[in-house]
Amino acid sequence: MAAKNTMRLDKLLTMLGEGTRAQAKDYVRAGRVTVNGVPARDSGMQVDAENARVCLNGRALEYKAVRHVMMNKPQGTLTTARDKRQKTVMDLLPPLYAAMDCMPAGRLDKDTEGLLIITSDGQLAHRIISPKKDVTKVYFARVDGVLDESDIAAFAAGLHIKDSDGEFDARPAGLEIVSTDGQTSEVRVRVSEGKYHQVKRMLASRGAPVVYLKRLQIGALKLDPALEPGQWREMTDEEAELLEQEANDA
């Protein structure tokens, strides 16, 4: 009986980000690929992707059926898979992730930093951003203005937003004032929906336009504080479980 994740060797090499299918064939012809310690002679040979030990130039290649990435998205990058003119978050990752059809789960504005999930599990990504899931997001913001208890109460009651981007009723949200110097304030905002520019519009409606915004948390998943803007890492098994739990909760 064939293994569940059996596939052609050249396809596996491509999925692992090791070049195009044609390049993979060249690697095999040149004797640069081994499977379970034996030089591969046929790029079309069937390989058990999960269990076979595949090496390129003596370097072991790690196969994962699904990959989840945590990124601290930097300012100035688009949250999209590709763009002909501007740099995207996928440009910050090795080719392996594009080869596995990884995609951002949700969006952050171009000028917003912080936690971004990139995953090869498209269904999981859609469940995470589904309005039906009410997944909570936590943001840190620096604003031009002074906020007080009346603003906290207004957020808790739910805001009616009407501006140049349109009109909507924001659900009750959390607002925590971290600090203020009499001219600017630093706050944390907790929301359970994702309207267009929502956090910026909510704060602007209280006379406090955002000058800096960073997402800190999605559900129970927190941004690794060791990640500088533009840095990323694959999620741990525990973090992946948190992600699955958030996606599956009603």
| Distance between CA atoms of residues 71 and 38, nearest Å | 37
Active site residue 109: yes
| Distance between CA atoms of residues 60 and 242, nearest Å | 29
The active-site residue, picked from 26, 101, 109, 121, is: 109
User: Quick one: which of 142, 141, 90 has its CA closest to 119?
Assistant: 90
Structure tokens belonging to residue 178:
């971290």
Task: Indicate the residue type of 61.
Answer: L
Ramachandran assignment for 152, one of left (phi > 0), alpha (psi -120 to 50 degrees), beta (any other): alpha
| Distance between CA atoms of residues 198 and 213, nearest Å | 12
Report the Cα 97 to chain-centroid distance in Å. Answer: 12
Would you call 230 exposed, middle or buried from its count of C-beta atoms within 10 A (0-12, 13-18, 19+)?
A: middle
CA terminus-to-terminus distance, the chain: 38
- Which CA distances in Å does 90 have to 3, 50, 87, 231? 31, 25, 8, 12
Which sequence positions are flagged as catalytic? 109
